[in-house]
Protein backbone atom coordinates (compact mmCIF):
# COMPACT_ATOMS: atom_id res chain seq x y z
CA UNK A 1 0.00 0.00 0.00
CA UNK A 2 1.25 3.49 -0.84
CA UNK A 3 2.27 5.56 2.25
CA UNK A 4 -0.23 8.32 1.46
CA UNK A 5 -2.98 5.72 1.12
CA UNK A 6 -2.02 4.31 4.52
CA UNK A 7 -2.21 7.77 6.07
CA UNK A 8 -5.62 8.31 4.47
CA UNK A 9 -6.94 5.03 5.85
CA UNK A 10 -5.60 5.81 9.33
CA UNK A 11 -7.15 9.28 9.17
CA UNK A 12 -10.55 7.85 8.28
CA UNK A 13 -10.30 5.34 11.13
CA UNK A 14 -9.36 8.08 13.59
CA UNK A 15 -12.32 10.22 12.48
CA UNK A 16 -14.69 7.28 12.85
CA UNK A 17 -13.26 6.42 16.27
CA UNK A 18 -13.57 10.00 17.48
CA UNK A 19 -17.14 10.21 16.18
CA UNK A 20 -18.01 7.02 18.02
CA UNK A 21 -16.31 8.23 21.21
CA UNK A 22 -18.18 11.54 20.96
CA UNK A 23 -21.50 9.70 20.63
CA UNK A 24 -20.66 7.50 23.62
CA UNK A 25 -19.50 10.53 25.61
CA UNK A 26 -22.79 12.26 24.98
CA UNK A 27 -24.67 9.34 26.51
CA UNK A 28 -23.89 9.31 30.21
CA UNK A 29 -25.76 8.99 33.52
CA UNK A 30 -25.00 12.60 34.56
CA UNK A 31 -26.32 14.23 31.39
CA UNK A 32 -29.07 16.20 33.18
CA UNK A 33 -27.22 16.90 36.43
CA UNK A 34 -26.91 20.61 35.69
CA UNK A 35 -29.81 21.19 33.28
CA UNK A 36 -32.51 19.25 35.17
CA UNK A 37 -31.14 17.83 38.44
CA UNK A 38 -34.53 16.52 39.64
CA UNK A 39 -35.44 14.79 36.39
CA UNK A 40 -34.68 11.22 37.49
CA UNK A 41 -36.43 11.50 40.86
CA UNK A 42 -39.47 13.04 39.15
CA UNK A 43 -39.63 10.21 36.61
CA UNK A 44 -39.15 7.60 39.34
CA UNK A 45 -42.04 8.97 41.40
CA UNK A 46 -44.35 9.01 38.41
CA UNK A 47 -43.45 5.44 37.39
CA UNK A 48 -43.82 4.09 40.92
CA UNK A 49 -47.29 5.61 41.17
CA UNK A 50 -48.32 3.99 37.87
CA UNK A 51 -47.06 0.56 38.94
CA UNK A 52 -48.69 0.84 42.36
CA UNK A 53 -51.99 1.32 40.51
CA UNK A 54 -51.34 -1.64 38.20
CA UNK A 55 -48.42 -3.95 38.86
CA UNK A 56 -48.58 -5.40 35.34
CA UNK A 57 -47.48 -1.99 34.05
CA UNK A 58 -43.88 -2.82 35.00
CA UNK A 59 -43.72 -5.47 32.29
CA UNK A 60 -45.38 -3.15 29.79
CA UNK A 61 -42.86 -0.35 30.35
CA UNK A 62 -39.85 -2.64 29.99
CA UNK A 63 -41.36 -4.05 26.78
CA UNK A 64 -42.09 -0.53 25.47
CA UNK A 65 -38.43 0.44 25.79
CA UNK A 66 -37.42 -2.81 24.05
CA UNK A 67 -39.86 -2.24 21.18
CA UNK A 68 -38.62 1.32 20.82
CA UNK A 69 -34.92 0.45 20.65
CA UNK A 70 -35.39 -2.29 18.03
CA UNK A 71 -36.89 0.20 15.56
CA UNK A 72 -34.68 3.13 14.47
CA UNK A 73 -32.77 2.85 17.75
CA UNK A 74 -33.80 4.21 21.16
CA UNK A 75 -35.46 7.37 19.89
CA UNK A 76 -39.02 7.24 21.32
CA UNK A 77 -40.40 6.67 17.82
CA UNK A 78 -42.85 4.11 19.23
CA UNK A 79 -44.58 6.89 21.18
CA UNK A 80 -45.56 8.85 18.06
CA UNK A 81 -49.24 8.54 17.22
CA UNK A 82 -50.73 8.35 13.74
CA UNK A 83 -50.88 11.67 11.86
CA UNK A 84 -50.86 12.99 8.30
CA UNK A 85 -47.06 12.70 8.35
CA UNK A 86 -46.59 9.73 10.68
CA UNK A 87 -47.39 6.07 10.06
CA UNK A 88 -47.32 5.02 13.68
CA UNK A 89 -45.34 2.05 14.96
CA UNK A 90 -48.18 1.57 17.41
CA UNK A 91 -50.20 0.11 14.53
CA UNK A 92 -47.51 -2.43 13.58
CA UNK A 93 -48.47 -6.06 14.12
CA UNK A 94 -46.10 -6.67 17.09
CA UNK A 95 -47.51 -3.58 18.87
CA UNK A 96 -51.17 -3.17 17.98
CA UNK A 97 -53.41 -4.18 20.85
CA UNK A 98 -50.49 -5.32 22.99
CA UNK A 99 -47.89 -2.57 23.47
CA UNK A 100 -49.10 -0.36 26.29
CA UNK A 101 -47.93 2.22 28.80
CA UNK A 102 -47.90 5.17 26.40
CA UNK A 103 -49.99 7.22 28.81
CA UNK A 104 -47.64 6.44 31.70
CA UNK A 105 -44.66 7.82 29.77
CA UNK A 106 -46.71 10.85 28.73
CA UNK A 107 -47.65 11.51 32.37
CA UNK A 108 -44.01 11.31 33.44
CA UNK A 109 -43.09 13.69 30.63
CA UNK A 110 -45.70 16.20 31.82
CA UNK A 111 -44.22 16.16 35.32
CA UNK A 112 -40.70 16.68 33.98
CA UNK A 113 -41.87 19.48 31.69
CA UNK A 114 -43.21 21.33 34.73
CA UNK A 115 -39.75 21.60 36.25
CA UNK A 116 -37.54 21.64 33.12
CA UNK A 117 -39.47 22.49 29.97
CA UNK A 118 -37.88 21.33 26.71
CA UNK A 119 -34.86 19.67 28.33
CA UNK A 120 -35.49 15.95 28.88
CA UNK A 121 -36.24 13.72 25.90
CA UNK A 122 -39.05 11.18 25.73
CA UNK A 123 -36.43 8.60 24.72
CA UNK A 124 -34.56 9.14 28.00
CA UNK A 125 -37.79 9.03 29.99
CA UNK A 126 -38.63 5.71 28.35
CA UNK A 127 -35.18 4.28 29.14
CA UNK A 128 -35.35 5.51 32.73
CA UNK A 129 -38.89 4.22 33.17
CA UNK A 130 -37.78 0.70 32.18
CA UNK A 131 -35.13 0.74 34.91
CA UNK A 132 -37.55 2.16 37.50
CA UNK A 133 -40.15 -0.45 36.52
CA UNK A 134 -37.65 -3.26 37.10
CA UNK A 135 -36.76 -1.95 40.54
CA UNK A 136 -40.42 -1.47 41.49
CA UNK A 137 -41.12 -5.20 41.14
CA UNK A 138 -37.95 -6.51 42.76
CA UNK A 139 -35.71 -6.53 39.70
CA UNK A 140 -32.19 -5.19 39.29
CA UNK A 141 -31.20 -1.58 38.93
CA UNK A 142 -28.60 -0.04 36.63
CA UNK A 143 -27.22 3.34 35.69
CA UNK A 144 -29.21 4.64 32.73
CA UNK A 145 -27.01 6.41 30.22
CA UNK A 146 -28.73 9.63 29.18
CA UNK A 147 -28.55 12.21 26.43
CA UNK A 148 -30.75 10.61 23.77
CA UNK A 149 -32.88 12.87 21.63
CA UNK A 150 -36.27 12.12 20.10
CA UNK A 151 -36.94 11.25 16.49
CA UNK A 152 -39.31 13.24 14.31
CA UNK A 153 -40.24 10.08 12.40
CA UNK A 154 -41.56 6.57 12.98
CA UNK A 155 -41.04 3.42 10.96
CA UNK A 156 -43.98 1.04 10.94
CA UNK A 157 -42.44 -1.19 8.26
CA UNK A 158 -39.30 -1.68 10.34
CA UNK A 159 -41.40 -2.47 13.40
CA UNK A 160 -43.10 -5.23 11.42
CA UNK A 161 -39.83 -6.66 10.14
CA UNK A 162 -37.32 -6.17 12.97
CA UNK A 163 -39.24 -6.89 16.18
CA UNK A 164 -39.08 -10.53 17.34
CA UNK A 165 -42.35 -12.43 16.97
CA UNK A 166 -43.94 -14.99 19.31
CA UNK A 167 -43.93 -17.73 16.64
CA UNK A 168 -40.35 -17.42 15.41
CA UNK A 169 -37.64 -20.05 15.67
CA UNK A 170 -34.28 -19.75 17.37
CA UNK A 171 -32.20 -18.94 14.29
CA UNK A 172 -34.47 -16.05 13.28
CA UNK A 173 -34.51 -14.68 16.82
CA UNK A 174 -30.71 -14.87 17.08
CA UNK A 175 -30.37 -13.05 13.77
CA UNK A 176 -32.78 -10.27 14.78
CA UNK A 177 -30.88 -9.66 18.01
CA UNK A 178 -27.51 -9.89 16.27
CA UNK A 179 -28.67 -7.25 13.77
CA UNK A 180 -29.04 -4.88 16.75
CA UNK A 181 -25.60 -5.71 18.17
CA UNK A 182 -26.94 -8.12 20.79
CA UNK A 183 -25.58 -11.64 21.22
CA UNK A 184 -27.18 -14.90 22.37
CA UNK A 185 -26.54 -14.13 26.03
CA UNK A 186 -28.15 -10.71 25.68
CA UNK A 187 -31.14 -12.35 23.99
CA UNK A 188 -31.69 -14.90 26.75
CA UNK A 189 -31.21 -12.28 29.48
CA UNK A 190 -33.62 -9.82 27.87
CA UNK A 191 -36.14 -12.60 27.21
CA UNK A 192 -36.08 -13.10 30.96
CA UNK A 193 -38.23 -9.98 31.26
CA UNK A 194 -41.04 -12.46 30.49
CA UNK A 195 -40.81 -13.33 34.16
CA UNK A 196 -43.32 -10.45 34.24
CA UNK A 197 -46.47 -9.68 32.31
CA UNK A 198 -49.12 -11.49 30.33
CA UNK A 199 -49.76 -12.63 26.78
CA UNK A 200 -52.95 -12.84 24.72
CA UNK A 201 -54.52 -16.17 23.83
CA UNK A 202 -53.89 -15.94 20.09
CA UNK A 203 -50.11 -15.70 20.70
CA UNK A 204 -49.93 -19.09 22.39
CA UNK A 205 -53.01 -20.93 21.03
CA UNK A 206 -51.09 -22.94 18.44
CA UNK A 207 -48.52 -24.01 21.04
CA UNK A 208 -51.00 -25.28 23.63
CA UNK A 209 -53.05 -27.23 21.07
CA UNK A 210 -50.06 -28.62 19.14
CA UNK A 211 -49.59 -31.77 21.26
CA UNK A 212 -45.89 -31.19 20.70
CA UNK A 213 -43.10 -32.79 22.67
CA UNK A 214 -41.79 -29.44 23.89
CA UNK A 215 -44.78 -28.59 26.11
CA UNK A 216 -45.83 -30.01 29.47
CA UNK A 217 -49.22 -31.73 29.21
CA UNK A 218 -50.59 -30.38 32.46
CA UNK A 219 -49.44 -26.89 31.56
CA UNK A 220 -51.13 -26.94 28.16
CA UNK A 221 -54.32 -28.29 29.74
CA UNK A 222 -54.36 -25.43 32.25
CA UNK A 223 -53.79 -22.82 29.57
CA UNK A 224 -56.56 -24.24 27.36
CA UNK A 225 -59.19 -23.35 29.95
CA UNK A 226 -58.98 -19.66 29.11
CA UNK A 227 -57.93 -20.02 25.47
CA UNK A 228 -60.44 -21.88 23.25
CA UNK A 229 -59.18 -23.73 20.20
CA UNK A 230 -61.39 -21.74 17.80
CA UNK A 231 -59.69 -18.68 16.36
CA UNK A 232 -61.54 -15.55 17.39
CA UNK A 233 -62.98 -16.94 20.60
CA UNK A 234 -61.11 -15.44 23.50
CA UNK A 235 -58.29 -14.08 21.34
CA UNK A 236 -57.65 -11.33 23.86
CA UNK A 237 -57.86 -13.51 26.98
CA UNK A 238 -54.71 -13.06 29.01
CA UNK A 239 -52.42 -15.59 30.63
CA UNK A 240 -49.31 -14.92 32.72
CA UNK A 241 -45.99 -15.48 30.96
CA UNK A 242 -44.71 -16.88 34.26
CA UNK A 243 -47.35 -19.09 35.88
CA UNK A 244 -45.57 -19.12 39.26
CA UNK A 245 -44.78 -15.47 40.12
CA UNK A 246 -46.20 -13.33 37.29
CA UNK A 247 -45.79 -10.01 39.10
CA UNK A 248 -42.31 -10.42 40.56
CA UNK A 249 -38.93 -10.21 38.90
CA UNK A 250 -37.17 -13.53 39.49
CA UNK A 251 -35.69 -16.46 37.56
CA UNK A 252 -38.78 -18.71 37.54
CA UNK A 253 -39.17 -17.98 33.82
CA UNK A 254 -36.07 -20.07 33.12
CA UNK A 255 -37.18 -22.86 35.45
CA UNK A 256 -40.45 -22.92 33.50
CA UNK A 257 -38.58 -23.39 30.22
CA UNK A 258 -36.69 -26.38 31.60
CA UNK A 259 -40.04 -27.88 32.65
CA UNK A 260 -41.44 -27.22 29.14
CA UNK A 261 -43.81 -24.59 30.53
CA UNK A 262 -42.82 -21.64 28.38
CA UNK A 263 -46.00 -19.90 27.28
CA UNK A 264 -44.79 -18.59 23.92
CA UNK A 265 -43.02 -20.66 21.30
CA UNK A 266 -40.35 -17.95 21.10
CA UNK A 267 -39.71 -18.53 24.81
CA UNK A 268 -39.54 -22.32 24.73
CA UNK A 269 -37.12 -22.43 21.77
CA UNK A 270 -34.47 -20.87 24.00
CA UNK A 271 -34.17 -24.26 25.71
CA UNK A 272 -34.31 -26.29 22.50
CA UNK A 273 -30.57 -26.27 21.73
CA UNK A 274 -27.35 -24.33 21.88
CA UNK A 275 -26.20 -21.60 22.01
CA UNK A 276 -29.07 -20.64 24.32
CA UNK A 277 -30.02 -23.80 26.25
CA UNK A 278 -26.97 -23.71 28.52
CA UNK A 279 -27.62 -20.04 29.32
CA UNK A 280 -31.20 -20.92 30.32
CA UNK A 281 -29.78 -23.62 32.60
CA UNK A 282 -27.31 -21.18 34.10
CA UNK A 283 -29.95 -18.55 34.84
CA UNK A 284 -32.34 -21.13 36.31
CA UNK A 285 -29.67 -22.03 38.86
CA UNK A 286 -28.26 -18.55 39.38
CA UNK A 287 -30.77 -15.74 39.93
CA UNK A 288 -27.99 -13.26 40.73
CA UNK A 289 -26.22 -13.95 37.45
CA UNK A 290 -29.48 -13.47 35.58
CA UNK A 291 -30.23 -10.18 37.34
CA UNK A 292 -26.71 -8.90 36.67
CA UNK A 293 -26.79 -9.94 33.01
CA UNK A 294 -30.26 -8.48 32.54
CA UNK A 295 -29.07 -5.10 33.81
CA UNK A 296 -25.97 -5.26 31.58
CA UNK A 297 -28.03 -6.16 28.49
CA UNK A 298 -30.59 -3.43 29.17
CA UNK A 299 -27.78 -0.85 29.18
CA UNK A 300 -26.38 -2.39 25.99
CA UNK A 301 -29.81 -2.31 24.35
CA UNK A 302 -30.22 1.33 25.39
CA UNK A 303 -27.12 2.14 23.31
CA UNK A 304 -28.71 1.08 20.02
CA UNK A 305 -28.42 3.94 17.51
CA UNK A 306 -29.26 6.87 19.80
CA UNK A 307 -29.85 10.32 18.37
CA UNK A 308 -27.45 12.68 20.13
CA UNK A 309 -25.97 16.15 19.85
CA UNK A 310 -27.73 18.11 17.12
CA UNK A 311 -29.58 15.07 15.77
CA UNK A 312 -33.24 14.64 16.61
CA UNK A 313 -35.42 16.90 18.73
CA UNK A 314 -36.78 17.23 22.26
CA UNK A 315 -40.51 16.66 21.96
CA UNK A 316 -42.77 18.75 24.17
CA UNK A 317 -45.25 15.89 24.26
CA UNK A 318 -44.22 12.34 23.48
CA UNK A 319 -47.04 11.42 21.13
CA UNK A 320 -46.43 14.11 18.48
CA UNK A 321 -43.69 16.08 16.77
CA UNK A 322 -43.38 19.68 17.98
Hey, how many other C-beta atoms are within 10 angstroms of the C-beta on 36?
A: 18
Interval 79-99 mean pLDDT: 95
- E strand or H helix at 198: strand 198-200
73 annotated ligand binder: yes
- Lowest pLDDT segment from 19-33, 202-216, 286-300: 19-33
* Model pLDDT, residue 156: 97
pLDDT at 144 over 60: yes
Which of these, 17, 75, 40, 67, lies nearest to 303 by C-alpha position?
75
Count H helices, E strands: the chain? Answer: 14, 2
pLDDT at 211 over 90: no
pLDDT at 203 over 60: yes
245 annotated ligand binder: yes
Could you give the 3-state DSSP secondary structure of residue 199? strand
* Model pLDDT, residue 26: 79
- Lowest pLDDT segment from 32-41, 236-245, 278-287, 297-306: 236-245
pLDDT at 282 over 90: yes
106 annotated ligand binder: no
| pTM for this entry | 0.90
Q: Using N-to-C axis directions, what is the helix angle for 122-136 and 287-301, rounded to 10°?
A: 170
Residues, the chain: 322
Reported for 94-100, long-range contacts at CB under 8 A and 24+ positions apart, including other chains, are 94/67, 94/159, 94/160, 94/163, 94/164, 94/165, 95/67, 95/159, 95/163, 97/200, 97/236, 98/200, 99/60, 99/63, 99/64, 99/67, 100/57, 100/60, 100/64
- E strand or H helix at 240: strand 238-240
Catalytic residue among 67, 180, 223, 261: 67
Could you give the 3-state DSSP secondary structure of residue 150? strand
9-42 pLDDT tens trace: 444 444 444 444 444 447 999 999 999 999 999 9
Three-class DSSP labels, 128-144 = HHHHHHHHHCCCCCCCC
Active site residue 65: no
164 annotated ligand binder: yes
81 annotated ligand binder: no
Amino acid sequence: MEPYASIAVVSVLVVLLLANMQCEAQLNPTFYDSTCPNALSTIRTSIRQAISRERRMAASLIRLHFHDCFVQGCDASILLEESSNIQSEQSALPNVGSARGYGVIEAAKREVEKICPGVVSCADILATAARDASVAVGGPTWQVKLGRRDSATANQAQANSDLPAFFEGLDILLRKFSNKGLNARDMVALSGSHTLGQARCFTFRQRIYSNGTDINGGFSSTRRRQCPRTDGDGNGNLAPLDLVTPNSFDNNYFKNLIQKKGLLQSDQVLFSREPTASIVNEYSNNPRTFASDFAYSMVKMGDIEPLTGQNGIIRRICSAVN
